[in-house]
Amino acid sequence: MKILVLNGPNLNQLGMREPDIYGLCTLKEIEEKLEQLAGELGVSLDHKQSNHEGQLIDWIHQAPDSYKAILFNPGALAHYSIAIRDAVASVVTPVVEVHMSNVHAREEFRQRLVITPVAAGQISGFGVDSYLLGLRAAVKLAK
Ligand code: DQA
């Protein structure tokens, strides 16, 4: 069973980006931790990251052909991209939305989450563990 791990804008900058908020782990290190957990859970992962909304939309559209669930950190697009929301709503593949920071406790513009209502659920505020908890949720949904 395959799960798609999708990361949106600026998440390729993890490790050097605002470390007081996002910590020092790079995206590659997060992917390695996810791979380890995926091995324990008996699923396989593909990892994709883009800074471009259209590319993320194309990957979401294609997901049902190959994946049973999507683990998705949309980055800032979570707060305003109706196009990504519509893409998520258009596929049968369940999406687990994750955020490293607690977006509910940050600036007002981050408290608006436009994808969450069409996601299977959302995990926010646990740093790297948001991804690991999200993967557990995605695997349960996929089974
Ligand atoms: C983020 C939260 C977003 O508000 C922000 O734009 C990001 C990262 C998080 O993982 O906490 O890029 O999605």
Per-residue pLDDT tens over the stretch 46-75: 999 999 999 999 999 999 999 999 999 999
- Tell me the average pLDDT across 14-30: 96
Per-residue pLDDT tens over the stretch 88-134: 999 999 999 999 999 999 999 999 999 999 999 999 999 999 999 99
Mutate to test the pocket of ligand 1, among 50, 103, 110 (most ligand atoms within 8 A of CB): 103
State the angle between helix axes of 27-41 and 128-142 in degrees (0 to 180), rounded to the nearest 10.
40
DSSP 120-140: SEEEESSTHHHHHHHHHHHHH
Catalytic positions, please? 22, 99
Residue nearest to atom 4 of ligand 1 (CA): 76
Where do the structural domains in the chain lie, given as residue ranges? 2-142
Owner of token pair 């990361």? 7
Mutate to test the pocket of ligand 1, among 100, 114, 126 (most ligand atoms within 8 A of CB): 100
Residue 116 is predicted with a pLDDT of 98
pLDDT category, 143, cuts 50, 70, 90?
confident
Query: Do the Cβ atoms of 18 and 84 come closer than 8 Å?
Result: no
- The correct CATH number of 2-142 out of 3.40.50.9100, 3.90.1150.10, 3.40.1360.10, 3.30.420.250 is 3.40.50.9100
Work out which ligand 1 atom sits closest to the CA atom of 110: 4
